Amino acid sequence: MKPTRSMLFAVCPMLVLGFLYYSSGKLHLHVWGQKPHKHKEATVTEAGNAKTEPEVETVISVGRIVGSVYDKLGFLLKLDGKLPPELEYKYGNLSEGVCKPGYVDAKMTSIFPKFVKPVSMFLDQNFKRLKNINNYLPPFGFRTQENIIELILATTKNYGLNPELDSLACKRCVIVGNGGILSNKSLGSRIDEYDIIVRLNEAPVEGFVKDVGSKTTMRITYPEGAIQNPLRYEKDSLFVFSAFKPQDFRWLRQMVFKDNLRGVDGFWKSVAHQVPREPSEMRILNPYFIQEAAFRFIGLPHNNGLMGKGNIPTLGAVAITMALHNCDEVAVAGFGYDMSTPHAPLHYYEKVKMSAIKESWTHNISKEKEFLRKLVKAGVITDLTNGI
């Protein structure tokens, strides 16, 4: 290289740096010199966003105390099951039991105007473009787990339900919770009528068909909740993985690639060593539903977007949130803990008592129930067991 040219190469970056330095100095001078007060205010709001949010909300609601029709989270205060006139016109003539296209979206938007419907159920290969979640660590997003997710998705190769369900013009979904309240209600055949039947963790079907139904479209689970006995996995259901901790993705990779389970540190109880499912039958639930349930719907502490005391929604609430975005009608069964009956069974399939739930550090059952009550009261979802 000629000396003059290399000289130029050296000078150019210096010029650029010099210019940057100069302009940033100007910027600072401008800000500090002319509007120091404004700048300070902005910094405080940005940095302390999570902490100051509740106060800001209070100020706002005090400001419009007379006319306020929405609660702090943005839900309509006066909820009833009536259809708004435009929906009455749209659905009023449909006979009982016919699926109403777009019903959940319309009803949800009418009580929670901030609701935005299109959020896909599962992560697909474009997942990195999902703005709301690429900045959050698990469970509220997938930051730091991008490579492992890419590897898994390249192997599962399927990102929807199945061609038949995906093409339904109107989907009726039921989320079957694990509550003891399902016992002895003979709701099984009613549950089996839905197009999409969602079950959670290890909740069994065999032996409980009369009460909980026999069909399973998908089973949403995290490592500690997954069925451990390979023989108990039902055929034809999707294994849907919901991550709560970074190591959960490592576990999923081992399950997808049928590796021997290694590194079980960090799980709070024993986990399944194998999942007898083909990769094409495995999905990753969009973590947006955990984030939205926690911060927008239930109003749990933001904690700078990190997992903290009492800010993780239960898997049931996450599943309902998913259904609000992806189903035309939503029903739930087996939800609701009645704290006034501590001796009632917590789950329909085991003897653990209701009182056991009080230990929970991660969930806030009472706040979560407030959210679910809004949905039921407004008729957004139907509660088949009347426990909410």
Ligand X SMILES: *[C@@H]1O[C@H](CO)[C@@H](O)[C@H](O)[C@H]1NC(C)=O
Binding site for ligand X (CB under 6 A): 89-90, 92-93, 180, 183-184, 309-310, 345, 364, 366-367
Q: How far apart are CA 290 and CA 135, in angstroms?
A: 14
The CB-of-320 to ligand X minimum distance in angstroms stands at: 19
Cis peptide before 139 (omega within 30 of 0): yes
**Residue with smallest beta-carbon separation from ligand X:** 310
Q: Toward ligand X, which CB reaches closer, 91 or 267?
A: 91
Q: How far apart are CA 374 and CA 299, in angstroms?
A: 13
For residues 147 and 186, which CB has a smaller minimum distance to ligand X in the complex?
186
Both tokens assigned to 11: 């000078």
Q: Report in angstroms how near the CB of residue 271 gets to ligand X at its nearest.
A: 25
* Three-state DSSP class for residue 335: coil
Q: Which tokens in the block code for residue 15?
A: 């010029």
Structure-block tokens of residue 363:
């969930």
Tell me which H or E stretch contains 333.
strand 329-333
Q: How far is the CB of 337 from ligand X (least distance, A)?
A: 13
Name the residue nearer to ligand X (CB basis): 22 or 89: 89
Shortest Å, Cβ 361 to ligand X: 7
Measured between alpha carbons, how far apart are the two ends of the chain, in Å?
77
* Residue placing its CB nearer to ligand X in the complex, 26 or 210: 210
Nearest-approach distance from CB 345 to ligand X, in angstroms: 6
Name which of 87 and 165 has its Cβ closer to ligand X. 87
Choose between 148 and 209: whose C-beta lies nearer to ligand X. Answer: 209
Joined tokens for residue 348:
């329909």
The DSSP result for 161-213, as a single string, is S-HHHHT-SS-EEEEE--BGGGTTS--HHHHHTSSEEEEETT---TT-HHHH-
Q: What are phi and psi of 297, to 5 degrees?
A: -90, -45
- Least Å from the CB of residue 20 to ligand X: 46
